[in-house]
Amino acid sequence: MTDSFVRFLHTQPEMTRLEFNSLYPPTPDIVFHPEALPNLKVLHCSSDFSALLLPGRPISHLQVSLSSVVNPYTAMFPSSDDTDSVQVLSVGLDHYSINAFYEFLSRFRNLKTLAVIAPNILDLERLYRLLAVVSLSSPHIEFIRLCGPLLPQTFFPH
């Protein structure tokens, strides 16, 4: 993400949806002012950019990729205080990022819908166990969808 793109986003107060992919994590000098994108409701990006864009914005639908997040302790995740508006979360996983999945997910307290896209994870049993823990610890979850290497699977925790 370049400075000119960040400056452009700061001039778009009416934008309600933002989708972008970046192969590189944000640099430390990228700053999004709290007043920028005040009407943003839908965000599709990597987990590290979500940490920059969630604070102070009414984002209700978030789609993130955790691909290549190997270490949850060094990854840049949003804080729990910045995720209260998110009700629908879609997370893309690969076999490296499954270790970071629970740490990332634990930051979302008000989820109603969770979709996990994990096309290359063959250890679905491990993912099922993680989802069971999530459904028990997230009182608002109404719907979980898992899309793995087999058929899509859906369950309602309550």
Q: What does the pLDDT look like over 80-111, one tens digit per residue?
A: 889 999 999 999 887 667 778 878 888 888 89
Banded model confidence at residue 23, pLDDT cuts 50, 70, 90 = low
pLDDT at 68: 66
pLDDT at 151 over 60: no
Alpha carbon distances (Å) from 51 to 30, 104, 120 = 12, 11, 25
Banded model confidence at residue 63, pLDDT cuts 50, 70, 90 = very high
Banded model confidence at residue 116, pLDDT cuts 50, 70, 90 = confident
The span from the CA of 59 to the CA of 135, in Å, is 22
Lowest mean pLDDT among 20-24, 30-34, 108-112, 151-155: 151-155
pLDDT at 59: 96
pLDDT at 72: 65
- Across the beta sheet with 61-65, what order do the strands follow? 17-19, 42-46, 61-65, 88-92, 113-117, 143-147, 153-155
pLDDT at 42 over 90: yes
Work out the number of other CB atoms within 10 angstroms of the CB of residue 137.
Answer: 12
